Amino acid sequence: MKKINAYAVKKDFPIFTTHKNLVYLDNAATTQKPRMVIDALTHHYKTANANIKRGIYTLSEQATEAYEKARWKVAQFCGVSCAQHIIFTKNATEAINLIAHSFARANFARGDEILLTIMEHHSNIVPWQMIAQEKGLKLRFVGITKDGELDMVDLKKKITSRTKLFAVTHASNVLGTINPIKKLTAFFHKRGIPVLIDGAQAVGHMPVNIGDLGCDFYAFSGHKMYAPTGIGVLYVSEKYINSMEPFLSGGDMVLSVSETKTTFQNAPERFEAGTPPIEAAVALGAATDYLKKLGMENIRRHETELTAYALKKLAHIPGITVFGPKSATQRTGVIAFALNDIHPHDLASLVCEKNIALRAGHHCAMPLHRFLNVTASTRISFSVYTAKSDIDALYEALTEIITLLHARHER
């Protein structure tokens, strides 16, 4: 194990040179990009830019090789033995939509049920709602305990003979809760129910080995793990990958096209219609190199230490309610909280004055916020470059704001 020095890591991220006093605590929304990733993007454009797959010239072959190498790197990074099971998408949302359309729409019938949890991001709710409306399916939601963990008693109650899929987040983008994915997958597989994992808040923050988890579908976004926006990843297991219908259609995903009929390629091309974000995929590959260099175990330990430190500090803020598990080891570096009498939006505006970037609102988790009986919360989220001094800056800002707001008027 190697301890991560956040101050040294910050130097890898040019944004902190441009904005020297920036306290960036909105990593669950998107992470900043290391020089290595930015260089991979520009290097690709400078040296290997061409469309991939069908160009009979060296540059196109180089671009194809770089794109496929990125796929291989991603597979290696998240414990997938065969790179052909990695499908590049636009983001985690598109990856989940792909499964909703190509798997659920094709295989589920009226009255079938999809089991979700109340802690899901809208991206793991809305696609299922739309398919449910179209196909006459029923959605059921597993609740959470008072500590923000999945309610296993409720989960067992919500499974029926019509349950056809369990779709759950690996780590909540509000509560930080890390769900026991390996156990859950084994539990549902015993009952013949496939499992989809929304890994947007997990990959890049903790070691994730999809092969070991054993799930059927795993979705995540590049931009939340130091890669550019516009690239996401979907893993599909051997059992389903070549029996699923295409999602989007057009060029690159076909074997042959006549005026009346089209035959499709196998995965991953089958699910990657049109020119993909080649340079973003290449840069995602570079992001996995960067994370490997730091070490995922080291990153997890760093973020757990920060979370424990922040939870301890926040406990001293008067009128605060922190949502989610009490122990840092049971959560990622995401902490959402509410203050008694200062609305999250107002708080975000106030700390912005002190160069602190955090997030306020429902974080695309309105059902969860309703469950928590608040309309919105304030969220801080950590990353490899987050230092204890960033948390101290937030703590001082919160203390000052609360003190000034509650101070009596000067006479």
Indicate whether 133 belongs to the interface with another protein (CB under 8 A). no
Indicate whether 410 belongs to the interface with another protein (CB under 8 A). no
CB 333 within 8 A of CB 301: no
User: In terms of CB distance, is 41 or 366 closer to another protein?
Assistant: 366
User: In terms of CB distance, is 248 or 342 closer to another protein?
Assistant: 342
Indicate whether 343 belongs to the interface with another protein (CB under 8 A). yes
Q: Which of 78, 82, 352, 364 is catalytic?
A: 364
Q: Looking at 113-257, which runs of residues are DSSP E strands?
A: 113-117, 138-142, 163-169, 195-198, 217-221, 232-236, 254-257
Q: Work out which of 23, 28, 328, 376 binds another protein, going by CB under 8 A.
A: 376
Q: In the annotation, is 364 catalytic?
A: yes
Min CB(51)–another protein separation in Å: 37
Q: Which of residues 63-122 bind another protein (CB under 8 A)?
A: none
φ/ψ (deg, to 5) at 57:
-155, 160
Cβ neighbour number for residue 9 with a 10 Å cutoff: 20
Q: Work out which of 353, 408, 410, 411 binds another protein, going by CB under 8 A.
A: 353
From the list 31-39, 280-288, 289-297, 358-366, the region that binds another protein by CB under 8 A is 358-366
Residue 75's SS3 state is helix
The alpha helices in 191-295, defined as continuous H runs, are 210-213, 238-241, 278-294
Of 352, 373, 340, 290, give the one whose Cα is nearest residue 4. 290
φ/ψ (deg, to 5) at 388:
-60, -30
Q: Write out the two tokens for 135.
A: 């196909």
Indicate whether 368 belongs to the interface with another protein (CB under 8 A). no
User: In terms of CB distance, is 190 or 409 closer to another protein?
Assistant: 409
Min CB(219)–another protein separation in Å: 24
Indicate whether 401 belongs to the interface with another protein (CB under 8 A). yes
User: In terms of CB distance, is 125 or 193 closer to another protein?
Assistant: 125
How buried is residue 2: exposed, middle or buried, by Cβ count under 10 Å (0-12/13-18/19+)? exposed
Indicate whether 373 belongs to the interface with another protein (CB under 8 A). no
From the list 281-289, 314-322, 360-368, 387-395, the region that binds another protein by CB under 8 A is 360-368
Q: Work out which of 11, 156, 191, 345 binds another protein, going by CB under 8 A.
A: 345
Min CB(317)–another protein separation in Å: 16
Q: What one-character-per-residue DSSP string does 76-140 give? A: HHTT-S-GGGEEEESSHHHHHHHHIIIIIHHH--TT-EEEEETT--GGGTHHHHHHHHHHT-EEE
Q: Work out which of 360, 368, 384, 387 binds another protein, going by CB under 8 A.
A: 360
User: In terms of CB distance, is 302 or 362 closer to another protein?
Assistant: 362
Indicate whether 350 belongs to the interface with another protein (CB under 8 A). yes
Q: What is the contact mask toward another protein in residues 291 to 330, using x (rule: CB under 8 A)?
A: ----------------------------------------
Of 76, 151, 88, give the one whose Cα is nearest residue 117. 151
Min CB(106)–another protein separation in Å: 32
Q: Write out the two tokens for 70.
A: 């990125």
From the list 130-138, 169-177, 182-190, 350-358, the region that binds another protein by CB under 8 A is 350-358
Q: Work out which of 240, 289, 361, 399 binds another protein, going by CB under 8 A.
A: 361
Q: Is the Cα dihedral 43, 47, 53, 54 positive or negative? A: positive
Indicate whether 342 belongs to the interface with another protein (CB under 8 A). yes
Min CB(23)–another protein separation in Å: 17
Indicate whether 125 belongs to the interface with another protein (CB under 8 A). no
Q: Write out the two tokens for 192.
A: 């013949």
Instruction: Tell me the C-alpha to C-alpha distance, in Å, between residue 190 and each of 195, 214, 215, 235, 374.
Output: 11, 12, 12, 21, 37
Say how far apart CA 119 and CA 175 lie, in whole Å. Answer: 8
Residue 150's SS3 state is strand
Q: Write out the two tokens for 313.
A: 């500090």
Residues annotated as catalytic are: 364
Contact positions vs another protein (CB under 8 A): 341-346, 349-350, 352-353, 360-362, 366, 369, 375-376, 400-401, 404-405
